[in-house]
């Protein structure tokens, strides 16, 4: 396992749609292990493969309330509610944050590192993290979705 460089918002890989994973092998497992180590060292709650320079549809999310989830070729298949909250990103200047509207609850399906289908769900921060990381796979950064903070936050 190893720490990988986190690509910054200027890098074109972060603006491209990542490619589907079709081969579930040892290299994929190594990528996921490296992503976990990199995310934890950077003290993030999620990371997408394009953020470490790999154009593949792989994300990880780790929150206190839900633990670690690895998802290959993730798709949100159900969402409900609405939340507007602050976001930051390991690929964007850490001094920048902004408010983004996201679903309050999501259900996501994808595959684990061995190609077995898995289902995951999240509420609150976990839902926000799933959405944020899946956006990365489509070349979207949170700074593309900024909105006004809720009235009580102003």
- The residues annotated with a catalytic role in the active site are 133
**Within a 13 Å sphere around the CA of 22, how many CA atoms are in the beta-carbon half?**
1
Pairing of strands 98-102, 83-87: antiparallel
Residue 126 CB burial class (10 angstroms; 0-12, 13-18, ≥19): buried
Residue 142 CB burial class (10 angstroms; 0-12, 13-18, ≥19): buried
Helix and strand numbers (H, E) in the chain are 2, 8
Sheet holding 58-63, edge to edge: 46-48, 58-63, 67-80, 105-111, 117-123
């Amino acid at each position: 396992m190893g720490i990988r460089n986190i690509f910054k918002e200027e890098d074109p890989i972060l603006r491209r749609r990542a490619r589907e994973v079709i081969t579930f092998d040892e290299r994929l497992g190594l990528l996921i292990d490296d992503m976990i180590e990199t995310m934890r060292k950077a003290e993030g709650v999620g990371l997408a493969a394009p953020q470490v320079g790999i154009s593949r549809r792989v994300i990880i999310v780790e929150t206190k309330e839900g633990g670690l989830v690895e998802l290959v070729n993730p798709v949100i298949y159900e969402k409900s509610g609405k939340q507007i909250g602050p976001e930051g990103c390991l690929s964007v200047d850490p001094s920048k944050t902004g408010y983004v509207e996201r679903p309050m609850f999501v259900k996501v399906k994808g595959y684990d590192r061995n190609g077995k289908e898995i289902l995951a769900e999240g509420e609150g921060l976990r839902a926000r993290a799933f959405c944020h990381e899946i956006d990365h796979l489509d070349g979207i950064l949170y700074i593309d979705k900024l909105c006004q903070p809720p009235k009580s936050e102003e």
